[in-house]
Every structure is written in structure tokens, then in C-alpha cells.
Structure 1
Amino acid sequence: MPQISQLAATYASQIFWMLAFFGFIYFVIGRGMVPKVMATVEARDKQIADDLAAADAARAAADAEEEAWRTADNARRAEAQAVIAKAKADAAAASEKRLAAAATVVDGRLAEADARIAAARDGALGEIETVASEAAAAIAQRVAGLSVDAKAANAAVKEAFHG
């Protein structure tokens, strides 16, 4: 059969061109393009990794800066609290001092008032005793017709009041 003898020649030609075509594709695409694409992918991966590392470093720096700011803020807050506490203590001490001075003045006035009251009471008691002794002498004169001297009347009234 002549067709079978042509098969080998036909297939050999097809196999040759298939190998030539795939060889060309292998060398052009596999050896030429793929390494460039792989280099681009690797460069992109490296850029992404570098960007992530830079972002991590920036975040760490921001965290450190925030911590430093918080520490400084807490220190400023503590200083402010200390100043406020000192101001309160100073104000309390000044108020205590003014109150003590006012209390001293008031105590002095009270002592003067007590002395005046005691003097007025003693004076009033003396007058009452004098009036009572004069009244007792006058009553004894009118009722009993007795004459009582002032010393005896004073002694009797003092004994009645204090006795």
C-alpha cells in the first residue's frame, strides 16, 4: 500500500516542524520572556516586602513617639496636680492664718465684753445692795420704828444675797 509508505514521510515532516515550532516557543518565551516576567514579579514582591517593612518601622516609630508623648503628658499632668495641691495647701494655710488672727481679735473683744459685763453686773449688784440696804433701813424705820445704821443694813443685805 502506497499510502502507508507516505505516512512515514508525512509524519516525519510534521514531527520536524512541531519540534521546530515548540523549540522556537521554548527559546523565545521560556528563555526570553519568562525570566523577565519572573524578575518583574520578584521585584514587585521585594518592593511590597520593603514597603511593609517601612510601614512596620513607621508604626513602631509612631508607637514610640506616642509613648513618649504620653509619658511627657503624664509628667506634665503630675506637675500640674502638684502645683494645684501646693496652691490649695497655701490657700488653706493663709485662710487658717487669717482665721486665727480673726479668732484672736474676736477673743479679745469677747474678753473685753465679758469684763464690761462683769463690771456692769458688779456695779448693778452694788447698786441693788445699796438700794436694798436703804430700803431695808427705811422699812425697819416705818414698820418697827427702829433706827438701823447703814453698816448693819449693808451687812444684813449682803448676808441675804450671798448667804
Structure 2
Amino acid sequence: MPQIAQLAETYSSQIFWLLVFFGFTFFIVGRGMVPRVMETVGQRDQQISDDLAAAQAARDKADAEEEAWRTRENENRAAAQAIVAEAKADAADKSEKKIASAQKRLDKKLAEAEERIATSRAEAMAEVEGVAAEAAQDIVQRLAGVKVTKPSAAKAVKEAMARV
């Protein structure tokens, strides 16, 4: 078979060109392109690690600022509560003073009213006693026909009023 006989003659030339092609490919790809790709991968890895470090630093800074803000907010809240408590105390003191002042005015008016009532009562009692004495004089005169003096009728009314 002639095809098999040609195999030895063409085999060596095919191996030669195979080695030339793979050698050429090795130097172009292996020595030219792979280092560039590896350099790009290294730069990308470095950029990622730098970005992660910057993100962590930003997170730490944000956490510190948040903690400072919370501290300030708590201090402000405590100050506001102190102001509110002071305002409540001031309002309570003012209310207490107003109530005390009003109570004094009411007590004074009550004392004056009680004094007027006592005066009016005394006047009314004196008038009642006077009217009762006159009525007693008229009644005794009509029933008994005896004339009673005004001082003795007043004395009798006073004694009767004292027993009641």
C-alpha cells in the first residue's frame, strides 16, 4: 500500500511544523500575553483589596461618627428633659404661689363675710329681740290687761332666747 509508505516521509515534516507552530504559539501567548494578563489580574486584585480597605476605613469612621452622634443626642435629650423638669417645677411653684395668693384673698373675703354675717346676725337678733319685746308687751296687755315696761319685756325675751 502506497499510502503507508508515504507516512514515514511526511511524518517528519509534520512533526517539524507542529513543533514550529507550538513553539511560535508558546512564545507569543506564553511570553507575550500571559504576563500582561497576570499583571492585569494582579492590578485588579490590588484594586479590590484597596477598595475593601477604604470601605472598612469608611465604615469605621461612620461607626465612630454614629457613636459620637448618639452620645451628643443622649446628652441633648438629657438636657431637654432637665429643662422640661425645671419648667414643670417653675410652673408648679408659680401655680402654688397663685393658689396661695388666691387662698389668702378668699380667706380674707371669708373673714370679712363672716364678720358681716356676725354683725348682721347681732343686728337681726337685736331687732328680733326688740320686735319680740314689743310683741310680748302687746300680748301681755291684751291678754292680762297689764301694762309691762319695755325694759322688763326685753329682759324676759332675753331670758327666753337664752334657753332656746
> What percentage of residue pairs aligned between the two structures are identical?
61
Alignment partner, residue 30 of structure 1: 30
Q: Give the C-alpha shift of residue 135 in structure 1.
A: 2.1
Counterparts of residues 3-152 of structure 1 (less than 5 Å): 6-152=6-152
Q: Which amino acid aligns with 1:129?
A: E
Distance 2:33 2:90 in 1: 84
Structure 1 residue 59 displacement after superposition? 2.3
Matched letter for residue 125 of structure 1: M
Amino acid at match of 2:106: V
* Segments ≥4 residues shifted beyond 4 Å: 1-6
Give the whole-Å Cα distance in 2 for the aligned partners of 1:143 and 1:75.
Answer: 96
Aligned-pair distance for 1:5? Answer: 5.8
For structure 1, the 5+ residue unaligned runs are none
RMSD (Å), alpha carbons: 2.0
2:154 aligned residue:
154
> How far 1:45 moved relative to its partner?
1.7
Q: CA deviation at 1:3?
A: 6.5
CA positional deviation for 1:122: 0.9
Q: What amino acid does structure 2 have at the position aligned with 1:140?
A: V
Equivalent residue of 2:36, what SS? helix
Deviations 1:107-160 (A, max 9, x none): 011101101111110111011112211221232123312122333312221232
What displacement does 1:13 show? 1.9
TM-score (norm 2): 0.87
Q: Please state whether the residue corresponding to 1:37 is helix, strand or coil.
A: helix
Relative to the length of structure 1, the TM-score reads 0.88
Alpha-carbon distance change, 4 to 117 in structure 1, aligned in 2, over 3 angstroms: closer
- State the aligned residue count: 163
